[in-house]
Structures are given as structure tokens and as C-alpha cells.
Amino acid sequence: MVRTAQERAIDCLLTTYVIDDAFSRCELQSMPETMLQKLVFLSERSMIRERKKGFCFRFVKLKYGPFSQELKDSLGGLKKTGLVGSRLAPTPPLGVLLQDFRDVIERNKIFFQEISQVNDAYAGMSLRELLNTVYAMPWGKHGKTIKDLPLRTPMLYPMRPGNVKLEFGITAEEGEDLLMNFDLEAITQLQQAASDMREGRTRTYEQVFAGL
């Protein structure tokens, strides 16, 4: 099932928080994408265990352990919109975004605390150390570890509505405001409009609405 617009907005917000929190908590200079995949996986797993619906990424087992194509795509968007820089470093616009959505973060702090706990435990590890830790984690009821799972085994997917005990709370308006910030096309147009205003490229009412 495809994620809803609201789920995509929450996924992107939580992902940016994982990055921002990991960098500030562990004083990171850079974060490999593989490391972000594992940190998000561990946070989502922890939320699902407690039946909290926060992240909605689907993860499968690949060569380097749990991997989500949806997360990879979201991250690509975050980079292009300038919220995340090279080597996944948080940028000033990301700081502004997280500040402007602090009410949402405060209201849903239980989800963000979950992320902070995971970052506390794992974000300071080297990538190799983190991968080995994740590979060795038990999975399923047959004494297997994540390393033992066959490639492409589905690992995490959104909970059925009936299983959810606590859901990330966000209004439709907040969801739309978030999506505007994560939408490459809208942000590109905004940057062009800002460039227009810096360089005096304006139009009159008559020029815009002539012919209507």
C-alpha cells in the first residue's frame, strides 16, 4: 500500500530529526547513508514494538542489512531541497524548519524521545560497528539473526490500523505545511521567486491577468 501524503510528511520530519539529533548528540562530521538507514530502521522497529505509529517506511533485508527504498527516495528529496547537505549534514534551513515545527515535536515528544534513545545508543558507533551490531540482532521466533535472513526478506512495514496504540498527531494544515517544505518543485519555484525579488523581476497585475 502506498503511503499517504500525511505519512510521507511525518516520515520526512522524523528522518530530518534523526539526522539533526545524531549530528548534535554525537558531534558527527558526516553520516554515511547506510548509517542513516540503520538508525531509522532501529527507531522504527522500536516504535513498532510499542505499537506507536511514527515512521511508515518499509524495510527489506539487503546486502548491508535493513534497507528502505522509500527512505532512500525521501533522503534524495531532502538533499535537493537543501534541508540536508553533503555527507548528510543538517543545514540552516533544516534548523529553521525544526524550530518552526517545535509545537508538533513537543506534542509528539514520545516519538522523538524514541529517536534520541536510538541515537544515544548507536549514532556514535563507526559504520562497521553499527552494521555488525545490527547483523547480530535476533530476528523472528526461530533464533535467527538479521544476518541469517535471506535477501529481500520484508522486515518492517506499517502496522495495521487495529494494532496501533498511539499515532503521531499532526493536523492536516501542519501536514501540508511540511509537504510544501519537502517538495522540490515548490522549493525550486520559491528560490526562483526569491531570485526575482533580489533582481527586480516583477510583473504588474495587468501583465499577469491580461486575457482573463
Partner 1 sequence: MNKSSQAYERRFTKTFDNQFHKLRDSIRTKRIKQRVDQIVASPYANIDFGAGQYRGKRKDRAGDDRIVFTVCEQCRNEHHEKYNDCSDCNTTPNNMVTFWEIIEGHKYRTRN
Residue 65 vs 90, nearer CB to partner 1: 90
Do 81 and 183 meet the contact criterion of CB atoms below 8 Å apart?
Answer: yes
Distance CA 49, CA 43 (A): 10
Give least dist CB 138 to partner 1, A: 37
Do 127 and 28 meet the contact criterion of CB atoms below 8 Å apart?
Answer: no
Distance CA 186, CA 161 (A): 32
Do 12 and 77 meet the contact criterion of CB atoms below 8 Å apart?
Answer: yes
Task: For residue 108, state whether it binds partner 1 (rule: CB under 8 A).
Answer: no
Where do the H-state alpha helices sit in 91-155? 92-100, 102-107, 109-122, 127-135
Task: For residue 19, state whether it binds partner 1 (rule: CB under 8 A).
Answer: no
Residue 89 vs 137, nearer CB to partner 1: 89
Give least dist CB 206 to partner 1, A: 10
Exposure string over 40-74, b if 16+ CB within 10 A, otherwise e: bbbbbbbbbeeebbbbbbbbbbeeebbbbebbeeb
Residue 148 vs 183, nearer CB to partner 1: 183
Task: For residue 85, state whether it binds partner 1 (rule: CB under 8 A).
Answer: no
Distance CA 32, CA 38 (A): 10
Residue 3 vs 25, nearer CB to partner 1: 3
Task: For residue 73, state whether it binds partner 1 (rule: CB under 8 A).
Answer: no
Question: 3-class DSSP state for residue 32?
Answer: coil
Task: For residue 80, state whether it binds partner 1 (rule: CB under 8 A).
Answer: no
Interface pattern 135-154 for partner 1 (x via CB under 8 A):
--------------------
Which of these ranges, 129-137, 144-152, 159-167, 178-186, lies near partner 1 under the rule CB under 8 A? 178-186
Task: For residue 167, state whether it binds partner 1 (rule: CB under 8 A).
Answer: no
Q: Which residues bind partner 1 (CB under 8 A)?
A: 4-6, 9, 81-82, 93, 96-97, 100-101, 172, 175-181, 183, 186-187, 189-190, 192-194, 196-205, 207-209, 212
